[in-house]
Structure 1
Amino acid sequence: MKSFNINEINEILNGILEGTTTNLITGPEQLEKAKSNHITFIGSKKYADLWETSEASVAIINEGIVAEPGENRALIRVKNADLAMAKLLEVFSPQSPVLEEEIHPTAHVDKTAKIGVGCKISAGVYVGKNVVLGDHVILYPNVTVLDDCTIGKNSIIWSGTVIRERCHIGNDCILQPNVTIGADGFGYRFCPEKGMLIKIPQIGNVVIGNGVEIGSGSCIDRGKFSSTILGDGTKIDNLVQIGHNSVLGKFCIMAGNSGLAGSVTLGDGVVIGGSASIKDHVTIGAGAVVGAGAGVMSDIESGKKVLGYPAVESREALKQWAVLRRLVKQS
């Protein structure tokens, strides 16, 4: 078990230390659950009162929040407690599963595939024709990488993920379990002559930039005749749907159960809240925020925040909700 004294922790965080403690810290924990061997964090004033009753010996706290360390307890003041805690979580992070063999005997790796230095290919993995894996790629058990795909260096693909043919993954990406990259886009048209829905072939691919993370159970559909694109640094939560030919800029965030229909464009830094839905062919400008559960039916300007279903500018949505509450009270 890893353990650190208060001075060692402050060297990692480079904060301002108030008070001290003789207790060794063996891990981080929430304020309410922490014991004397834990470090916790206070990123908002509304949690400051919990510090008095918490058993934690140390708290990482934002500058400007009023709190006192107390007896045998310490505060480490930083500019951003969330980022400081992220740094500390890396220190306490347990080791990932160890893969002893470079290529497990039960894995199938096509003879035309090019495998970089230091790659790990686990049990039950399928690597198809002309696949290229950069250096130090890790494929955990039962990953499928079909023909003509590329995966950049240091990327980690967790169990059950399927990367279909001709798709490209950048460097330093993480695909959590059971992600699907390059499934057919949802394209059908009714044919009067045949009296049935006709499937529109989807012959494009998916291109994912560097440093992208995709959560468990998410699906990124291939383009109809070009590419579905995720920009560098974009982070996708669990159970997210991204439709064919959508283009996401750099550092976008999509929370769980949200979805993009086909041909949606997101500018850099767009944030999509949980369970939000975006209509096809909509463009959302850079830095815009879509609130949880919103339904976006038309374009959104850069920097705007929208709420509601159908989504409107946040201040307008709050006014509408206030009026509805007053009407309910009067009825």
Structure 2
Amino acid sequence: MASYTIKEINTILKGELIGNTDNLIEGPEQLKNAKNHHITFIGSTKYAKLWESSEASAAVINDNLNIEPGDNRALIKVPNADLAMAKILEMFSPPSPEFEVEIHPTAVIHETVVIGGGCKIGANCYIGPNVVLGDGVTLYPNVCIFDDTVIGDATTVWSGTVIRERCIIGSHCIFHTNVSIGADGFGYRPSDDGRGLTKIPQIGNVIIGHYVEIGANSCVDRAKFSATIIGDGCKIDNLVQIAHNSVMGRSCIMAGHSGLAGSVTLGDGVIIGGSASIKDHTTIESGATVGAGSGVMGDIKAGQTVLGYPAQDSREMLKQWVALKRLTKK
């Protein structure tokens, strides 16, 4: 198990060290659960009051907080405790599961597949005709990659993920367990005789940029024609639905249980809160934020924050909630 002195940790963080501790730090932990071999994090005054009762030997804190370290305890002041936490988590991160062999003998790999240098392919993977894997791609056991798909360098695909035919995946992506990329979009119309539904063929594909991360059990459907597109740097939580022909700009965030209906367009840096639903053919411009649980029925301007169902400007919606609360008290 890795352990560090507080000075070694501060060498990485480059913060302002206040106080000192001779306890070795063996990992990060929440304030209330931390012991004397832990380092913790305080990002706001809400949690600052818990420092005195915590058993942690050290804490990383925002530099606008005034806290005394105490006996044999240390504080590291930084501009952003959350970003500093990410660096510490990397220091203590355990290694990824090991591969005994780079390409497991039970993997089924078509003879036309092009495999880049340093790729790792786990047990029972299936890789179809004309697939191209860039350098350093990692496929954990039971991944399926279907025909004519291209995956860029250093992308990691965890077990149970299925990437359907003709998809184009960028470099340095991470797909967690049971992600579905390129399944048919949800397209049906009433049949001519009125007795059933006619399936609309989905003949497009999915294009995913670089440094995209998609959480477990999320789905990105192929387009009816053309492509469903996810831009560089997007981060998608677990259990998220992205429907056919949707287009996401760069560095968008979608929290768990949220969903885009068909042909939704997101600009750059859009944030979609958990369980939010976006109506089809809607445009959300760059920098906009959709609050958790909201239902977006129309276009949203750049930089706007919306809340509620149906979603409205956050300031207007908060006024309505206050007014309703007052009515219930009469």
Range of TM-score over shorter length: over 0.9
**Counterparts of 1:145-164 in structure 2 under 5 Å?**
145-164=145-164
Matched with 1:248 is 248
Matched with 1:239 is 239
Instruction: State whether structure 2 residue 273 is matched by structure 1 residue 268.
Output: no
Q: Which amino acid in structure 1 is aligned with residue 233 of structure 2? A: G
RMSD: 0.6
Whole-angstrom CA distance in 2 between matches of 1:80 and 1:319: 32
Corresponding residue SS for 1:324: helix
Q: Which runs of 5+ in 2 are unaligned?
A: none
Whole-angstrom CA distance in 1 between matches of 2:292 and 2:88: 29
TM-score normalised per structure 2: 0.99
Instruction: State whether structure 2 residue 316 is matched by structure 1 residue 324.
Output: no
Q: Which amino acid in structure 1 is aligned with residue 45 of structure 2? A: K
Whole-angstrom CA distance in 2 between matches of 1:289 and 1:50: 31
**Counterparts of 1:203-222 in structure 2 under 5 Å?**
203-222=203-222
Matched with 1:197 is 197
Q: Which amino acid in structure 2 is aligned with residue 239 of structure 1? A: L
TM-fit CA distance, 1:60: 0.3
Matched with 2:81 is 81
Per-residue CA deviation, residues 66-115 of structure 1 (Å, 9 max, x unaligned), is 11111000000000100001011001000000012121111001000000
TM-fit CA distance, 1:287: 0.5
Instruction: State whether structure 2 residue 9 is matched by structure 1 residue 5.
Output: no
Whole-angstrom CA distance in 2 between matches of 1:320 and 1:194: 43
Per-residue CA deviation, residues 154-208 of structure 1 (Å, 9 max, x unaligned), is 0000000000000011000000000000010000000133621000000000000
Matched with 1:184 is 184
**Counterparts of 1:1-331 in structure 2 under 5 Å?**
1-193=1-193, 195-330=195-330
Q: How many residues align?
A: 330
Per-residue CA deviation, residues 219-278 of structure 1 (Å, 9 max, x unaligned), is 000000010000000000000000000000000000000000000000000000000000
Corresponding residue SS for 1:50: coil
Whole-angstrom CA distance in 1 between matches of 2:15 and 2:76: 6
Whole-angstrom CA distance in 1 between matches of 2:284 and 2:299: 6
TM-fit CA distance, 1:314: 0.2
Q: Which amino acid in structure 2 is aligned with residue 201 of structure 1? A: P
TM-fit CA distance, 1:23: 0.2
Whole-angstrom CA distance in 2 between matches of 1:9 and 1:191: 66
Whole-angstrom CA distance in 2 between matches of 1:132 and 1:44: 47
TM-score normalised per structure 1: 0.99
Q: Which amino acid in structure 2 is aligned with residue 244 of structure 1? A: H
Q: Which runs of 5+ in 1 are unaligned?
A: none
Whole-angstrom CA distance in 2 between matches of 1:173 and 1:234: 10
Q: Kindly, what percent of the aligned residue pairs are identical?
A: 68
Q: Which amino acid in structure 2 is aligned with residue 260 of structure 1? A: L
Whole-angstrom CA distance in 2 between matches of 1:183 and 1:194: 27
TM-fit CA distance, 1:326: 1.2
Whole-angstrom CA distance in 2 between matches of 1:194 and 1:314: 43
Q: Which amino acid in structure 2 is aligned with residue 153 of structure 1? A: D
Corresponding residue SS for 2:52: helix
Q: Which amino acid in structure 1 is aligned with residue 120 of structure 2? A: K
Whole-angstrom CA distance in 2 between matches of 1:328 and 1:202: 50
Whole-angstrom CA distance in 1 between matches of 2:22 and 2:87: 22
Corresponding residue SS for 2:166: coil
Following superposition, which runs of at least 4 residues in structure 1 exceed 2 angstroms of deviation? 192-195
Q: Which amino acid in structure 1 is aligned with residue 78 of structure 2? A: V
Whole-angstrom CA distance in 2 between matches of 1:124 and 1:192: 44
